[in-house]
C-alpha cells in the first residue's frame, strides 16, 4: 500500500504532529514521524477506519484534510497531488470523499479587515455623518420652538451681563429703520463691556458689546454689522453650528429617545454662543447677506469694508484679539469677497436717512 506524509492534529492543541500514513485495507494507519514537542515521548501508531471518517473532506489543490472522531475532532492534513485520488480508489464505499469541499480559509484576516472597516465607519459617522444629521435636524426645528429657545438662552446669558438699556433702546430704533425682510422678531441688545464682539442667538436676538460699538464711526458700519448678524439668525447659522459642535450629545439623546433633553442640552451650553465659531462658508454667506442689506437700504458698501478694516486694525495693534475677528475667516479674504460683490452688484448709494442718522447720533452720545 502507498505511504504518504502528513500533519496530524489531535483537536486539543493547535500544534500539529508529523505522521507517516499507510493506507491499509479498511483504513489509514498513522505513525508519528517526529516528536510533537521537545522532550515529549513519541505517540503510538493509531488507526482511522475509513468507514468512520467524517462525511466531508476538504480539498484545495494538492491539499486534502480529513476529520475523524467526535470530540475532540481530530484532523489530518496531507499535501500530495495524488493522495485524494488514491484514497478515493482505496475506499470506494466510504462517504468522506463523496462530499469533498474546498479547504476553509482562515477567517482572521477577514475579521481584521471587517474590524478596521467598522472602526473607519464609526470615525466617518462621528466626523461627518453626525454633524450633518445635527445640521439637518436643526434646520427642521419649528420656528416657534427656535424663537422660544432663543428667548430662554437670551435670558440666561443676560443674567451675567450689564445691559446698557439706553443704548439698547437707540440701537433697536436704528435696527427698525433698516429695511429687513425677515419673519423673526429681531431684537438688538447693547452690553456694557469693553469686549470687541457681537453675536446672534437663535430666534432673533442680536447682542453687541459696547467695546465694538464704540469703535464704529459711521451708521453704515453699524448697518453692516447688524446685517451680518441678522444673516446668522435668518439662515439658522447659530443653531446649526451649535448643533454640529454638540452632535455627539444630540446623537445620544436621540438614541435614548430623549428629545426633550435637546433644549436642555443647548441651554446648558448657551455660554458657548458668544464665542461660537462658524465655518468659512457660513461667514461668507452672512457677509453676502449683509452686503445686500446695505444695497436694499442704498447705504454705502464701504461701511462693511471699514468694519472689516477696523477689526483688522484692532488685531494688528497688539491689543487683545477681537473675538469677532479671531473666530471669523481671515479679514483679507472677507475684504476680497466684498470687493467682488461690489463689482458684480453695483448700485448707487445715498446718505443714511434722517431717522437712521438720528438713532446713530443717539448711540454715539454715551
Residue 356 belongs to what domain range? 122-364
In a domain, 115, yes or no: no
Q: Please tell me whether residues 86 and 127 are part of one structural domain.
A: no
Q: Please tell me whether residues 248 and 137 are part of one structural domain.
A: yes
Q: Which residues of the chain have pLDDT under 50?
A: 36, 39, 41-42, 259, 321, 326-327
Give one DSSP letter per residue of 26-95, joined into a string.
Answer: SEEEEEE-S-SSTTPPPPPPEEEEGGGS-S--EEETTEEEEEE-SSSPEEEEEE-TTHHHHHHHH-TT-S
pLDDT score of 111: 63
pLDDT score of 301: 94
pLDDT score of 42: 47
pLDDT score of 66: 87
Hey, what long-range contacts does 264-271 have (CB within 8 A, 24 or more apart)? 266/149, 266/153, 266/242, 267/149, 267/152, 267/153, 267/156, 269/242, 269/245, 270/153, 270/156, 270/157, 271/157
In a domain, 114, yes or no: no
Q: How far apart are the first and last CA of the chain?
A: 113
Give the whole-angstrom CA distance, residue 210 versus residue 122: 45
In a domain, 117, yes or no: no
The CA angle 96-99-103, to the nearest 5 degrees, is 90
Q: Please tell me whether residues 63 and 178 are part of one structural domain.
A: no
In a domain, 107, yes or no: no
Q: Please tell me whether residues 148 and 273 are part of one structural domain.
A: yes
Q: Please tell me whether residues 342 and 243 are part of one structural domain.
A: yes
Q: How many domains does the chain contain in total?
A: 2
Q: Please tell me whether residues 93 and 179 are part of one structural domain.
A: no
Q: Please tell me whether residues 255 and 334 are part of one structural domain.
A: yes
In a domain, 344, yes or no: yes
In a domain, 235, yes or no: yes
pLDDT score of 278: 76
Q: pLDDT (tens digit, 9 = 90+) per residue, 71-128?
A: 677 888 898 888 888 888 888 888 776 665 555 555 555 666 677 777 777 666 666 6
The rounded Cα 359 to chain-centroid distance in angstroms is: 45
Q: Please tell me whether residues 145 and 34 are part of one structural domain.
A: no
Amino acid at each position: 500500500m502507498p505511504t504518504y506524509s502528513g500533519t496530524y492534529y489531535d483537536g486539543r492543541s493547535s500544534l500539529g504532529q508529523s505522521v507517516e500514513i499507510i493506507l491499509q485495507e479498511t483504513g489509514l494507519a498513522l505513525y508519528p514521524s517526529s516528536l510533537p514537542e521537545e522532550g515529549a515521548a513519541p505517540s503510538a501508531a493509531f488507526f482511522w477506519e475509513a468507514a468512520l471518517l467524517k462525511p466531508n473532506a476538504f480539498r484545495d489543490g494538492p491539499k486534502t484534510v480529513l476529520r475523524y472522531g467526535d470530540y475532540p475532532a481530530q484532523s489530518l492534513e496531507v499535501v500530495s497531488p495524488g493522495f485524494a485520488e488514491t484514497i478515493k480508489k482505496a475506499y470506494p464505499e466510504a462517504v468522506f470523499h463523496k462530499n469533498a469541499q474546498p479547504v476553509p480559509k482562515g477567517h482572521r484576516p477577514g475579521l481584521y479587515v471587517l474590524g478596521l472597516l467598522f472602526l473607519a465607519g464609526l470615525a466617518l459617522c462621528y466626523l461627518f455623518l453626525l454633524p450633518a444629521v445635527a445640521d439637518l435636524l436643526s434646520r427642521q426645528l419649528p420656528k416657534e420652538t427656535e424663537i422660544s429657545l432663543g428667548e430662554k438662552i437670551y435670558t440666561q446669558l443676560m443674567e451675567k451681563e450689564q445691559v446698557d438699556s439706553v443704548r439698547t433702546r437707540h440701537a433697536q430704533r436704528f435696527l427698525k429703520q433698516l429695511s429687513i425682510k425677515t419673519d423673526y422678531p429681531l431684537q438688538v441688545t447693547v452690553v456694557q463691556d469693553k469686549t470687541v464682539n457681537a453675536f446672534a442667538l437663535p430666534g432673533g436676538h442680536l447682542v453687541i458689546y459696547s467695546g465694538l460699538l464704540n469703535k464704529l464711526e459711521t451708521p453704515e458700519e453699524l448697518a453692516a454689522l447688524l446685517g451680518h448678524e441678522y444673516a446668522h439668525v435668518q439662515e439658522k447659522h447659530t443653531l446649526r453650528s451649535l448643533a454640529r459642535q454638540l452632535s455627539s450629545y444630540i446623537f445620544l439623546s436621540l438614541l435614548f429617545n430623549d428629545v426633550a433633553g435637546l433644549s436642555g442640552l443647548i441651554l446648558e451650553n448657551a455660554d458657548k454662543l458668544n464665542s461660537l465659531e462658524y465655518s468659512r462658508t457660513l461667514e461668507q454667506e452672512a457677509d453676502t447677506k449683509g452686503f445686500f442689506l446695505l444695497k436694499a437700504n442704498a447705504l454705502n458698501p464701504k461701511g462693511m469694508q471699514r468694519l472689516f478694516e477696523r477689526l483688522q486694525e484692532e488685531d494688528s495693534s497688539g491689543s487683545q484679539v477681537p473675538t469677532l475677528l479671531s473666530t471669523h475667516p481671515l479679514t483679507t479674504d472677507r475684504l476680497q469677497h466684498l470687493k467682488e460683490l461690489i463689482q458684480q452688484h453695483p448700485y448707487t448709494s445715498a446718505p443714511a436717512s434722517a431717522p437712521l442718522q438720528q438713532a446713530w447720533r443717539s448711540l454715539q452720545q454715551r
